[in-house]
């Protein structure tokens, strides 16, 4: 069976996705795995949308940054279903994810891990 994953395809159904987790990686790794990001979003400088053949969607993006993070960064993962979005992200980036509810720091600043 041929499973297809669409990346940054304008038909990806990302409407209504919300923050579900994070993936700690670099911009260079994401570009290597996913290609160049979409930069046409209000509150992010880099954004990827991913949709699997079963309809599962995930978005990977920075949030309210002035410039695109280049070093290791906790990139935001958006989705409709936390488990499916994080698993899809792990598959395409080959990087472990963290569910949003497992984080014990303030994602809006003051964290030690950004």
Domain boundaries, the chain: 5-100
* Buried-exposed string 67-99: b where 16+ CB fall within 10 A, e elsewhere: eebeeebbbbbbbbebebbbbbbbebbebebee
pLDDT digits 0-9 by tens, 25-78: 999 999 999 999 988 788 899 999 999 998 999 999 999 998 999 999 999 999
pTM for the full predicted model: 0.82
Q: If you average pLDDT over every residue of the chain, what do you get?
A: 85
């Amino acid at each position: 069976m041929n499973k297809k994953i669409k990346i940054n395809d304008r038909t990806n159904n990302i409407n209504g996705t919300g923050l579900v987790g994070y993936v700690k990686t670099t911009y260079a790794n994401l570009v290597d795995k996913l290609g160049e990001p979409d930069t046409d979003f209000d509150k992010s400088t880099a954004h990827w949308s991913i949709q699997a053949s079963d309809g599962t969607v995930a978005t990977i993006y920075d949030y309210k940054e002035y410039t695109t993070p280049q070093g290791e960064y906790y990139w935001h993962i958006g989705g409709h279903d936390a488990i499916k979005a994080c698993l899809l992200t792990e598959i395409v980036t080959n990087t472990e994810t963290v569910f949003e509810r497992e984080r014990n720091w303030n994602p809006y600043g003051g964290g030690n891990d950004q």
